[in-house]
Every structure is written in structure tokens, then in C-alpha cells.
Structure 1
């Protein structure tokens, strides 16, 4: 669920983008105080510093879509993978607010050394790095996983390597035995890896914080089944995993805390219960009985339970609600009629009632109405209102635009959403009906949404999705969701609208090559406006992430990097009996 570029940007990214991204976090991240009726605690951390030991329970209603690091590109699954199971060359500090945007060395000894005008990046691995079975982690293991990200058999993961590396055209990954040559990645010894890029990328030290740049031992390759048991380089390893039901993590005794400045691994054991339904997670955490005192929610607090939480001071004190820095959108399949007509798509901007959608998402305490694609985190903290449409929409204007486009009587279409998104989908359905757009809602399991929308033959006209920056940079946003050259018929991920505008594609390249940060930021804003005019999607809300935790939880906060999700690197229990 995130992405951008150049040498003069390197020093400025930490300062300028930290300001912008207080980035994926909210304006009061880590600052204490009260915002929209939700209280954060002191420094933004609930429960103080954890003790060592005990069992942490994560309550969920869904399986992880992918734990394979070459394919892990959704939140909060990246949080689980990168913080608990595998390490990357660099990573982000585990802290609320602006401190959480600071990059640190992880497997690497430093943040990387650029050369050749940031077209070449060199990293050296630390001493003493091992997998869960005690075998050493070597540089070629990182190269191998980067190569895996090119494999059509392993779709859906971050595609930065494909975009940035100087790889041969048509490279298909290592599963067929083909490895990348030194023109793309060099491994001169077991502890050195050198990346050669197509163009300057000043922020490549940030890019290698993604799971693509974690190690996978070739000897343990299982292809599409690797997600069931990725070999751990992190503080925990999988003891058991019954998909869709339960995953149990235990300590990886080969992980050396002395090499890891970020992950604290407080609990002895982590149990992920994926069997809960409906409001069951909230009910259990509100009641706060028995082992649920040691539990946290993996999924957002359901709207039906929000008032119950906010009116109970004790429960409210256990609520985390930080901005996810993401934009939730109604995305249109621009290859499917009538959404292949830009006038129809523009009509949808006026047809949607964002007030009713916000109410269905939990109300203004947990959402801000979105008025452009880039969230405020990536527009210097100030929202941009492109069309100046009133929040409740303008169905008369929508009807006029539809009539001008040749649809005076509206049209019928289908919207696919996850089972948890039905209430929000119904709010969209009711609003669109005012303009003559009749929507049939299809709900599917959350893990199935991307596979349906990513398949051109199965994708309907509408989908309720969104995008989060992978790290604090506008280049991790617009290029990922609107570069038409990366659209795939199957296994599509990112550009789910299938929008392909040659002029936009050219502008993406032009901005990526800029070496002046201020000019690049201005250009991203201009491009955002240009794409809004083409309207491949309707921005709906900029959402906070409301998560409940049990009363014995410590070290819990919404991370600015993990889209407001709890940072699993430093969470644990207040006390262990």
C-alpha cells in the first residue's frame, strides 16, 4: 500500500518530507492532547515500556494476503512481515510522530553509499546475521529476493526493483534459473551488495526499507508456497500457521538483538487469531477479560462500536487513532464502459456524497473528507480541494455531465468490496442512485479483492480501494497508481483503475528525473490536478486508523510508516504473571 527520486533530494527528504508526512501520521502524532474526540496518551504511546515475556494476542477477522517478502505490499501485512519475520537493508525507527519517520540501518551497516550521481548504491551487511536455522545471511540472499520480485509466478509485490534497476528487458526472475547480471546487481563478496539503477534515485536508501530488500535463501525457495513459511531473519519465526485460522510466532533464537537497533521483541510468543467475525473483536477488547487484556486489534474498530468506545473513558484510553496518511478512493475501471469515457468519470466526482460515506466510515472523528488524490501528508500538510464540490455532492451537475456524455438516463454498474466494506458501499450506492447510476454491490472476502480487481476479465466497473505511501514521498503515490505502462491483465496491483495516459506517463518520468526538491514537489501537485481532471478515481476520505488494545498492553502507538497501524517492533505487555 506507497513511493519518488534524485541526488539533491537525499538530505532534504528527511527534513522536508518529515514535515509533509508527519506524513502518514496525524497532526498530533506523538504529541498528546485531544483530537476530534480521541485522546492520545502523553507521548502517543499507550502503557509505557513493556516488560520481557508473555504472550501477545492479535485479534483479526482475516488471513494475511501475503507473507512472502517479494509479494508483501499491503498494510498492515507489511508491518507484520518487516517488524517480526524479516529484516531489510534499512528500516524506520519504531516511534510515534516525526521520530517514526527517521531511517535507520537494519541489515546494512549504514543507509547506503551512492555514487555515479545516485545511479549506483552500495550496502555492506553487518556481522553475525543469521536465519532461524542458524545459517548465515549473505548478500546474494538479498539479491535473490530482489530478483524474485520480477517473477510473474510471484505477482503483487512492490515493483520498485522493476522500475529502478538496470535489468535486461523481459527479465522474468530466478525461478527458471535466470539470475541478474552485474549490470543490475553486483555481489562482490558475502557482505556487499551493489545496485545499479536506470536513473538517479536519491532516496534509494528509503526504497530498500521495503520487504523486497529482505533476504530469502535460494535453498528454501518454495515458489508460490513461500508465503506459508518465510524463513525468518527477524526476531520471531513461525511455529504454526493454519491459514485463515491461527498463526503462532515464537522467538527466533538466532536473531541477535545487538545487530538490530529497532525491534525489541518483548513478547515470548505472539498468537494471531483470524477467526473472529463482525463486532466480535471490539466486543472482546471492550470487555477486557482474561487473556484479552493482553490482546490488540489487527483491524479497525467497526463504526457500530465507535460511540460505545468514545463514551467510556476507560475504553477510550485504550484507543489508538492516528492518521493513516492514505487516500480511500472509489476507483473506476477505465477500460470498461462507460468508465472509458472521461466525462462519465468526471460526473462521478459530483455524484458521490462524501458526507454519507464519511458517516459510514465512523464519522468525522475518524475521517477527513478527501478532495484530491495526494493526502495532506504529501502536500506540505495542507489539503488541496481540486473541484470545490460540496461534501454532499451535486447530483444535478452529475446528471448534466452524464447527459453530455450520452447517458441521459444513467447506467448500471457493479461495485466489488470486501465483506467489511458493505456499509460504506451502500452509502456510495445510495448517493450514486441520485444521479441515475444504479450500483449492484458484490462483497467478497478481504483476501480476494485484489485477485478479482487485478484480473482484467473479472474486474467490475467500480471498486472501493485506496493507496498509502510506502515511505514519505509523493513519488511513492502517483507513479504507483497511475503509471499506465505497468498495468497487467492479471496480477495487476497498484494501478487498479487501469488508467493509461501517455502524457501522464511522460510527466511521471520528467518529475522522476528532477534534482530540485521544491520543483519536484510543485510538479507532483500539478500532476495530481491533471489526473484529477481525467478522474480515474474519486477521492473519498483521508482516514485515521482506530485500533483498540487490552488493558495490559504496553508500547502501543499508531506508526506514521505503517499507515497508522500498531508498530509491532516495540509492543508488549505491562506485566507478566
Structure 2
């Protein structure tokens, strides 16, 4: 699934990160979300902004090892790309504040005048558009254009995007999009500035749902089907000047974007250039050196392992390393559908048997990884993970043995599939479980095939590693995807990799989804997180940060907490535009 957390940096990265921080005496962070103190210099820019306030102008270059999966707002469901698209190219009804840390999770109106008005017990949501909104050609943005893009998200030829419209809107059964002229009755536009959504059930956090690219405008006259991916029509501060797939994307100012209508986007640079197809190590070296035009660059993908020793021990370079939390939880999935993990006592034993401290060490130590103590990440749990089981980070093998003996399952032998890059973490898990008498047979799978293997019920192993990131700060974007048994598919299973089917959990999911009060629902998700932990369908392992380097001429850069720590493109710019040589 495109929003699914791609597990981990490679094992080499984590080793290099540990090496890079080894010269410091205070690198250890308080272990296991337990609140212990300690300074973490490797994550010194967590929640902070690099470089002060940018100046207006210049060219900011993004160095990338890859092209975007999709820029079409109906198809964009990769978290960093949602940041790029919704901050630069198109606007949505509602968006998130451009602030580092917890403030970035706050909702603010974007195209809409407010966060929407619920009625009919939360089954109807009405939004009014601001006045003066225009596309790149100067034509007015209309409510009908947002309706049209929502409808496009159902088209079979426009796959890959968020499916919340299909989940929430009434009367969508069998709907195949607007390309054949059919439209949804559950999305109404009584005038050019009003859009009304009729939902099949109350959705307390529907305002947050409208931050997704699905709720950006696309005028029907600009429809190009799958070809729209190469040239989305801009409603944001920039428009596409040229796009050579897999090579280069150039964005220039949309002169019809009016900053008076936009409280979030600052649009500091005159131009954004994304250079693609570069090797990760090459990108890091260029930004570390920061010479000439490379001083005005940022990197798209994570810093490479071999670069860590060049960065962490050097204060002048390390201060240009962002390390915001990705907001995702990585788990050891236990296959609940068959023995031995169809036994709750055996699953509980695994919670105690795993040595999470060793897994964190195999992941580079506390520099960029910390122990997870529950499923919901901190952003969905009031800023701090719950810790209902109170298990020490290194585990309790004696307690695990006791539980296994009580279950009559001593001397277990289980299979464990991991992506090749996660072999080091898998071995740490293997060694931890061995303390409790559990023999683990590791099978490494090519990264390109990994999720197909663990998502196919005919090839699912006893254990696997995967993670999940929320689409926006609500438990509704996390627990139902990962632990609702109704989401399990014979092939292409995406979130519920533990194959957890529990009637009480599914019943409670439905009850929370029916709540009209968002505050009540948020607390209910946190309570359900604790309740599911007691049933142990999987073992929460760790939370990761996103390491991103920026050049010495970059200002206003921070990792946004909603978009898995990616740089917030709404506010990034240059200290001295003249130095960008753009």
C-alpha cells in the first residue's frame, strides 16, 4: 500500500548511524518511550527549523533517487509526495499548519473558509470556498471542480489514490468515476462556492479527511485520464513548466495564486527543480560539500548509511540534518490464523520474549530509532505512546517461558520473513526469542516482492515485519487498517498482516466510527489500542525518524510530523537567493 511504512533503513544504515554517533558520550535517548531523560545529539534538529526565515526568490533544487509515484491528486497516496503536491501544486479544502513538532498536526482551512460544518448527526458536511481562488490560467476555482476530482478517485484507470471517498460517501456502490459522464449524488454543489458531502455514517474527523489530495480541485475541462499525472493543473503557488519523467521536474510561480487566500504556503523560491535518478550516496556527498549551486539543495530520500560517519561527528554538517519522527510504528506481525499464534497466550509470550533494545541497537541505536510500547504512534496517542504491558525494553524471557509452558507450547519453531535490508533486525529478534526457547528460521525476501509475499494468505509466514503510518492524525486511519479482520484479502492484504480477526475489536471499530464527536472518538481509539495490546496480535517494535540533509544555503526547513518527517515544502526556501545560481 502506498501509504504503508517502508520498513526501515537498510541494516547498513543503522550500523553506520551507530558508528557515526559513537564518539559522543550522550547519544543515548531515554529507552522505550518510558520517558527517561537524555540528550540525543544525532536527532538535534528534531522538531526544529533549520536556517531561519528564507528570503524571497532563487531556485531551490531537490536531489532525488526516484520519480514521484503519482502527482495526479486523485492518485497521490505516498506520504512525502502528498506533502509536495498539496504544498506546491494544488490546494485542498483543509490542510495542516506549516509548523514543526506537534503544531504541524493542527488543521487549518485551505480552499475552504473554515473546517467544515457537520449536520445530520455528522453524516452531512458542508464547506464554503473562499473568494478569489484561481487556477494557473486565472480562471476561478469552483466547488464543482472538487466534486469532479472526488469522483475521479473512483475511476478504474486512475488507481493508487486514497480510498476514503469510497469508504465514507453514501451511494458509491458500483460507481466507476465520471469519465463516462456519471456523477455522485452524495456530493452536491448548490453553487460555485458550496460543496456538500453526504456520508453513509457519521465521520467525526471528516475535516481531516479533506486534507487528502482527493479533495483538491480538478476542472473537468483539463481531464486527460492517466496522462493528467504528467501535468496537473495548478491551484497552488507553483505550476509545472516542464516534466521529463524519471529525469527532471521544473516548477515556476503560478502568478494567479493569491497569498491573501493562503495562510499556510509562503512560496519563497521563484523556482523548484527536482533532479531525479541520482544515486543516494552521490546526493549525500553533494549536499555535505554544499558547494556552488549544491548549497541550495535538499534531498528527497533518506540519507544513506555510508554518509552517517561524514555527518554525525561534524557539528557544522550535523546541524543541517533533519530527524523528525516518521509517525509510524513498525511491528512484528504474528500470524493469528494458525498455530502457534492462534493461541493468545503464545502471542502474549512473544511480547515478553522480544528484546526490543537489541532491535533498536540493530537499527542504529537511539540516534534515529526508539522502542515502541503500543501500536498507535505518539501523534495519535496525545503525544506519548501508552505502555499498558510495562515490559522492560530488553524483554522478560523468564515470563515468556512461563507463558509458553502454561500454553503447552515449549520448544516452538517458527518461520520469519523479512525484506533483505532488515536481516540485521531479524537476527536481533531471532536471538531475543531464543532466550525463551523459540527457534526462528529467517527467510529474506527481495524488497520488491516482500509485501506480495506477506500479503498473500497462501505464502504468509508465521512472523513478518511491517509498519503503518496514519494518513492524518486520527486512530481511524490506523487501527481499522491494521486490526480489522474484514480488511483481510486472499491476495494483496495490505495492513492486517497479523491476520487478526476478533469480533469484539470489529464491533468496537464500528462503534467508534459512528461517533460524531471527534474528541470522544480520539479517546476511544486510544482505549482500543490498549485493549488490542492485551490480545497481542502483533508486537510493537520501534518508531523511526527520517534523516534528511539540506544545503548550507537552505532556510525554513523542518520535517513535517504528518508527512512522515518529509521537509515541509510550504515554508522551505533560501538564505541568499543569489547564491542558488538558478
Instruction: Work out whether the TM-score is over 0.5.
Output: yes
Q: Of 47, 50, 56, which aligns to 1:52?
A: 56
The equivalent residue for 1:66 is 70
1:102 is the counterpart of 2:106: yes
The equivalent residue for 1:574 is 575
- Which shifted more, 125-134 or 425-434? 425-434
What secondary structure, in the 3-state scheme, does the structure 2 residue paired with 1:117 have? helix
Provide Cα deviations, 1:136-163, integer angstroms capped at 9, x if missing partner: 4321221122223334544443232223
Quick one: distance in 2 between partners of 1:153 and 1:571? Answer: 34
Provide Cα deviations, 1:373-411, integer angstroms capped at 9, x if missing partner: 012333333332233443234567667777858684513
What secondary structure, in the 3-state scheme, does the structure 1 residue paired with 2:505 have? helix
Q: Of 140, 144, 162, which aligns to 2:144?
A: 140
Kindly indicate whether the alpha-carbon contact (under 8 Å) linking 1:245 and 1:275 is maintained by their aligned counterparts in 2: yes
Q: Residues 531 and 177 of structure 1: is their aligned pair in 2 closer, same or farther, counting only changes over 3 Å? A: farther
- Which shifted more, 563-572 or 54-63? 54-63
Quick one: distance in 1 between partners of 2:122 and 2:577? Answer: 49
Residue 335 of structure 1 and its aligned partner are, at CA, apart by 5.7
Quick one: distance in 1 between partners of 2:287 and 2:462? Answer: 38
Kindly indicate whether the alpha-carbon contact (under 8 Å) linking 1:303 and 1:361 is maintained by their aligned counterparts in 2: no
Cα RMSD between the aligned structures? 3.5
Quick one: distance in 2 between partners of 1:249 and 1:340? Answer: 53
1:126 is the counterpart of 2:127: no
The equivalent residue for 1:442 is 445
Q: Residues 105 and 519 of structure 1: is their aligned pair in 2 closer, same or farther, counting only changes over 3 Å? A: closer
What secondary structure, in the 3-state scheme, does the structure 1 residue paired with 2:229 have? helix
Kindly indicate whether the alpha-carbon contact (under 8 Å) linking 1:415 and 1:461 is maintained by their aligned counterparts in 2: no
Structure 1 gaps, min length 5: 3-25, 27-32
Provide Cα deviations, 1:161-206, integer angstroms capped at 9, x if missing partner: 223222243434334543211xx11111222211112233333222
Equivalent residues, number: 542
Provide Cα deviations, 1:68-125, integer angstroms capped at 9, x if missing partner: 3223233212111111121100112212234433322211222222222332211122
- Which shifted more, 547-556 or 88-97? 88-97
Quick one: distance in 2 between partners of 1:223 and 1:494? Answer: 29
What secondary structure, in the 3-state scheme, does the structure 2 residue paired with 1:364 have? helix
Kindly indicate whether the alpha-carbon contact (under 8 Å) linking 2:202 and 2:515 is maintained by their aligned counterparts in 1: no
Residue 208 of structure 1 and its aligned partner are, at CA, apart by 1.0
Quick one: distance in 2 between partners of 1:479 and 1:204? Answer: 16
The equivalent residue for 1:208 is 210
Q: TM-score, normalised by structure 2?
A: 0.82
What secondary structure, in the 3-state scheme, does the structure 1 residue paired with 2:533 have? helix
Residue 269 of structure 1 and its aligned partner are, at CA, apart by 2.2
The equivalent residue for 1:484 is 485
The equivalent residue for 2:381 is 379
Q: Residues 318 and 115 of structure 1: is their aligned pair in 2 closer, same or farther, counting only changes over 3 Å? A: same
Quick one: distance in 1 between partners of 2:297 and 2:455? Answer: 34
Kindly indicate whether the alpha-carbon contact (under 8 Å) linking 1:156 and 1:492 is maintained by their aligned counterparts in 2: no
Residue 542 of structure 1 and its aligned partner are, at CA, apart by 2.0
Quick one: distance in 2 between partners of 1:449 and 1:242? Answer: 30
Kindly indicate whether the alpha-carbon contact (under 8 Å) linking 2:204 and 2:518 is maintained by their aligned counterparts in 1: no
Q: Of 174, 179, 190, which aligns to 2:178?
A: 174
Residue 35 of structure 1 and its aligned partner are, at CA, apart by 4.4
- Which shifted more, 259-268 or 198-207? 198-207
Q: Residues 303 and 347 of structure 1: is their aligned pair in 2 closer, same or farther, counting only changes over 3 Å? A: farther
The equivalent residue for 1:414 is 417
The equivalent residue for 2:22 is none
Structure 2 gaps, min length 5: 5-29, 31-36
Quick one: distance in 1 between partners of 2:242 and 2:497? Answer: 33
Residue 271 of structure 1 and its aligned partner are, at CA, apart by 2.3
Kindly indicate whether the alpha-carbon contact (under 8 Å) linking 1:355 and 1:391 is maintained by their aligned counterparts in 2: yes
- Which shifted more, 405-414 or 44-53? 405-414
Quick one: distance in 1 between partners of 2:305 and 2:182? Answer: 49
Kindly indicate whether the alpha-carbon contact (under 8 Å) linking 1:367 and 1:542 is maintained by their aligned counterparts in 2: yes
Quick one: distance in 2 between partners of 1:490 and 1:218? Answer: 35
Residue 524 of structure 1 and its aligned partner are, at CA, apart by 2.3
The equivalent residue for 1:295 is 297
The equivalent residue for 2:274 is 272
The equivalent residue for 1:466 is 467
Q: Residues 269 and 517 of structure 1: is their aligned pair in 2 closer, same or farther, counting only changes over 3 Å? A: closer
The equivalent residue for 1:549 is 550
The equivalent residue for 1:327 is 329
Provide Cα deviations, 1:225-246, integer angstroms capped at 9, x if missing partner: 5433333222223334444443
- Which shifted more, 513-522 or 100-109? 513-522
Q: Residues 338 and 227 of structure 1: is their aligned pair in 2 closer, same or farther, counting only changes over 3 Å? A: farther
Residue 346 of structure 1 and its aligned partner are, at CA, apart by 4.6
Quick one: distance in 1 between partners of 2:352 and 2:278? Answer: 37
Kindly indicate whether the alpha-carbon contact (under 8 Å) linking 1:155 and 1:491 is maintained by their aligned counterparts in 2: no
Residue 279 of structure 1 and its aligned partner are, at CA, apart by 3.4
Quick one: distance in 1 between partners of 2:89 and 2:542? Answer: 32
Quick one: distance in 2 between partners of 1:225 and 1:405? Answer: 59
What secondary structure, in the 3-state scheme, does the structure 2 residue paired with 1:71 have? coil
Quick one: distance in 2 between partners of 1:58 and 1:205? Answer: 31
Within 5 Å, which residues of 2 pair with 1:330-341?
A: 330-331=332-333
Q: Residues 126 and 471 of structure 1: is their aligned pair in 2 closer, same or farther, counting only changes over 3 Å? A: same
Q: Residues 391 and 128 of structure 1: is their aligned pair in 2 closer, same or farther, counting only changes over 3 Å? A: same
Quick one: distance in 2 between partners of 1:351 and 1:225? Answer: 51
Provide Cα deviations, 1:528-562, integer angstroms capped at 9, x if missing partner: 13322443432111223232211000111122332
The equivalent residue for 1:262 is 264
Quick one: distance in 1 between partners of 2:316 and 2:417? Answer: 42
What secondary structure, in the 3-state scheme, does the structure 2 residue paired with 1:328 have? strand
Q: TM-score, normalised by structure 1?
A: 0.82
Kindly indicate whether the alpha-carbon contact (under 8 Å) linking 1:425 and 1:441 is maintained by their aligned counterparts in 2: no
1:535 is the counterpart of 2:556: no
The equivalent residue for 2:118 is 114
The equivalent residue for 1:161 is 165
Q: Residues 290 and 332 of structure 1: is their aligned pair in 2 closer, same or farther, counting only changes over 3 Å? A: farther
Kindly indicate whether the alpha-carbon contact (under 8 Å) linking 1:60 and 1:272 is maintained by their aligned counterparts in 2: yes
- Which shifted more, 217-226 or 524-533? 217-226
